[in-house]
Amino acid sequence: MISALLALGLAAGAPFPLPPSPLPVQDTVKGKVVYEKWCAGCHGETGAGDGPAAAYMLPRPRNFTGAVYKIRTTASGQLPTDADLLRAIDEGLAGSAMPAWKGRLSDAERRDVLAYLKTFSSFFADTSQHVVALKFGGEPGGGTSAEALKVGRQFYDSIGCRKCHGDQGRGDGPSAPTLKDDAGFPIFAADLHQSWRFRGGATAADIYRRLRTGLDGTPMPSFSDLIDQKFLTDEQLWRLAQYVRSLSPARTPEVRDVIHAPRLAAALPAAPGDSVWDRVDRYWLPLVGQVIRKPRWFGPAVSGVWVQAVHDGKSVALRVSWDDRTRSPDTTWLGFERRVLETVAGDDSGGGRTAGPFPDQLAVQFPRRIPEGMERPYFLMGTETDAVYQWRWTSAGGSGAAGGAVGGLARGLERFDTLPGGPAAQTSYEHGEWRVMFTRSLATPDTANELQFAAGRAIPVAFFAWDGSSGEHGNRLAVSTWYFLALDQPTPPRVFVTPVVVMLLTLGLGIVVVRRVQRRQA
């Protein structure tokens, strides 16, 4: 009877947060069915986080048997509340393989599965465990003001965030290469410039909560003791959270198909750090693991690139920026790299891989000529018979004018033939960020192999990145599909003339209509 009432309540969408009391037993029976159908593939039949897909993921799926959860509202060491667990199920965990199940499973199914996954650990049945959400105060205002951010930055330095997250927050701190989670898997210090990938949410309030509770099972500790012992005020911790939030764009970057390159009247930027770039729109293009050709790679390190382009009618300049914790080749990360290669399964795992001081690499890909129809070469580096034109940059390259960049033809992933006279490239690496600026004249003598840029056309372009210190090398890389680069044309006069003509015609027509109707009326 009670359970029937409760089921009714659930079906009607009982308000959150749920009470921490355990759900009725019969729910775990239904939960088991849902769990085995939809969850066990990653989390395993016994909840140990060892389903068939687990080895193809980094971070690995949660092991429920220890009841250790990263995203909680409770103190470090405490169990999560039901609402905490339900949040992870409902909204998923950004930046990981965990999807949002709200809308995919019914309300009742999600709650049943919650009840079931708690049965994997005896801690949830232990009534002596306290499950009390911490009391979080409201966010103090003015969180984006320079003053607030300065306070936040001050505490970022004084409480040692940079030890793991690095000076500018890209996860490149001195302790970062040693980090492991409780299961011994390698774990990255979060890149604080990509808040949309934070597991527990992107707002300053989410970040504040993570600072208070820590991420149990990971090296990220709780800072609550500091507040309890008055080493830090609550407001100061909020300022820190607001500072961390300020490192990422205000909104999740939208992926746009066409990269517009404005035409500059002045000279093209001279370096990757040129202030011209600050005034040019930047485009976020996500990259994912190369899982198409053997050996596949399920642990891509570069989650995307920021691309900007400008031209002056003679030459085009393209700047690609991306976050990379390491300036590879870097031997201090060799141990970490080895652990990554051991952790991520693939066609060549189990002895087929060796860690090495690999360089970081980037490839920018174009077709050899601008396609007339919709047909273009195969996005994954062309084919044996239909080559693509690429600019390739490597961090191990010489420091000459080309900065380690060459142009050439790729015929599939395995073959790249260098062409003479590649693009000019300049590079900078600062605090976990690579910036590579390519410059090339729009037209070149080798019209058969090298793309001839033209303004006002949609030029297919794709990007590929390797992080050497994550073991990326050869077919182990992050890829994109085709996007487009459009070099803006100077605005032709008809753009301004046509609307004026159309407006005059409409006005004239309107006056004629009004006159005629009025005359008829009269």
Partner 1 sequence: MRRAMLAVVCGVFVMASARERRAEPQGGATIAGKIKFTGAKPANPKIDMSEEPKCKAKYQAPPTEETVVVNPNGTLANVFVYVKSGLPESYKAPAPAGGVTLDQDGCRYHPHVLGILVGQPLEIKNSDGILHNIKAKGTKNRPFNISQPTTMTSTRTFTAPEVMVPLECNVHGWMHAWLGVLPHSFYGVSGADGSFSIKGLPPGTYTIEAWQEKYGTQTASVTVAGSETKTQDFTVAGK
Partner 2 sequence: MNWRRYADHPFWQAAALLVAAYVVIVYVVPLFPGSALVPKSVVLQYMATVLVGVLIYVSDNEERWIRFREPIHAALVEPRLRPVRAGLLVAVPALVGLVAYGQVRTTVAAPPNLRSIHPAPPSEITFRGKTITLTGLDNPLRQHPESSAAYAADGKRIYYQNCLPCHGDHLDGQGHYAPGFNPIPANFQDNGTIAQLTESFVFWRVAKGGPGLPREGTPWNSAMPRWEDFLTEREIWSVILFLYDQTGWKPRTWETAGEAGKRKGDD
Determine if residue 160 is left, alpha or beta; phi over 0 gives left, psi from -120 to 50 gives alpha, anything else beta.
left
Q: Using CA of residue 477, residue 478, residue 480, residue 485, what is the dihedral sign? A: negative
Site string for partner 1, 56-95 (x = CB under 8 A): ----------x-x-------xxxx----------------
Rounded to the nearest 10°, the torsion over CA 353, 354, 360, 363 is -30
Closer by beta carbon to partner 1, 226 or else 288:
226
Q: Tell me which of 9, 17, 52, 398 binds partner 2, using CB under 8 A.
A: 52
Rounded to whole angstroms, the Cα distance separating 281 from 308 reads: 7
Rounded to whole angstroms, the Cα distance separating 208 from 8 reads: 36
Is residue 27 close enough to count as binding partner 1 by CB under 8 A?
no
Element (H, E) at 228: helix 224-228
Is residue 313 close enough to count as binding partner 2 by CB under 8 A?
no
* Residue 317 and residue 311 in contact, taking contact as beta carbons nearer than 8 Å: yes
Three-state DSSP state, 219 = coil
Q: CA 279, 284, 286: angle at the middle one, nearest 5?
A: 165
Is residue 408 close enough to count as binding partner 2 by CB under 8 A?
no
Rounded to whole angstroms, the Cα distance separating 434 from 230 reads: 40
Size of the site for partner 2 (CB under 8 A): 67
Q: Tell me which of 258, 267, 396, 443 binds partner 2, using CB under 8 A.
A: 258
Q: How far is the CB of 53 from partner 2 (least distance, A)?
A: 4
Q: Tell me which of 375, 384, 399, 420 binds partner 2, using CB under 8 A.
A: 375
Q: Which stretch binds partner 1 (CB under 8 A): 42-50, 100-108, 225-233, 260-268?
A: 225-233
Distances (CA, A) of 432 to 177, 396, 420: 13, 17, 32
374 makes contact, choosing from partner 2, partner 1, none, with CB < 5 to 8 Å by partner type, with partner 2
Site string for partner 2, 291-310 (x = CB under 8 A): xxxx---x------------
Q: Which stretch binds partner 2 (CB under 8 A): 121-129, 209-217, 424-432, 495-503?
A: 495-503
Q: Which stretch binds partner 1 (CB under 8 A): 40-48, 136-144, 209-217, 352-360?
A: 209-217
Q: How far is the CB of 307 from partner 1 (least distance, A)?
A: 35
Distances (CA, A) of 105 to 84, 234, 399, 510: 18, 38, 55, 56
Three-state DSSP state, 286 = strand
Q: Tell me which of 267, 443, 502, 512 binds partner 2, using CB under 8 A.
A: 502
> Residue 301 carries which side chain, given as an amino acid letter?
A
Nearest to 401 by CA among 270, 261, 309, 280: 270
* 3-class SS string, 58-117: CCCCCCHHHCCCCCCCECCCCCCCHHHHHHHHHHCCCCCCCCCCECCECHHHHHHHHHHH
Nearest to 395 by CA among 291, 308, 473: 473
- Residue 423 makes CB contacts below 8 A (sequence gap 6+) with 391, 402, 405, 407, 438, 439, 440
Q: How far is the CB of 135 from partner 1 (least distance, A)?
A: 19
Rounded to whole angstroms, the Cα distance separating 500 from 507 reads: 11
Site string for partner 1, 139-158 (x = CB under 8 A): -------------------x
Is residue 83 close enough to count as binding partner 2 by CB under 8 A?
no
Closer by beta carbon to partner 2, 305 or else 405:
305
Is residue 237 close enough to count as binding partner 1 by CB under 8 A?
no
376 makes contact, choosing from partner 1, partner 2, none, with CB < 5 to 8 Å by partner type, with partner 2
Q: What is the full DSSP assignment across 290-322?
A: --SSSSP-S--S--EEEEEEEE-SSEEEEEEEE
Q: Tell me which of 29, 270, 443, 504 binds partner 2, using CB under 8 A.
A: 504
Element (H, E) at 361: strand 361-366
Rounded to whole angstroms, the Cα distance separating 189 from 180 reads: 10
Q: Which stretch binds partner 2 (CB under 8 A): 33-41, 164-172, 198-206, 437-445?
A: 33-41
Is residue 200 close enough to count as binding partner 2 by CB under 8 A?
no
Q: Which stretch binds partner 2 (CB under 8 A): 233-241, 320-328, 415-423, 480-488?
A: 480-488
In the numeric block, the tokens 């239904």 are attached to: 30
Q: Tell me which of 31, 143, 171, 214 binds partner 1, using CB under 8 A.
A: 214
Closer by beta carbon to partner 2, 61 or else 269:
61
42 makes contact, choosing from partner 2, partner 1, none, with CB < 5 to 8 Å by partner type, with partner 2
Quickly count: other Cβ atoms within 10 Å of residue 373's Cβ.
5
Q: Which residues bind partner 2 (CB under 8 A)?
A: 37-38, 41-42, 51-53, 56, 96-97, 99, 101, 103-104, 255, 257-258, 260, 286-289, 291-294, 298, 345, 347, 374-380, 383, 456-458, 479-482, 484, 486, 488-489, 491-492, 494-495, 498-500, 502-504, 506-507, 510-511, 513-514, 517-518, 521
Q: Which residues bind partner 1 (CB under 8 A)?
A: 66, 68, 76-79, 123, 128-129, 158-160, 163-164, 174-175, 178-179, 182, 214-223, 225-226, 229, 231
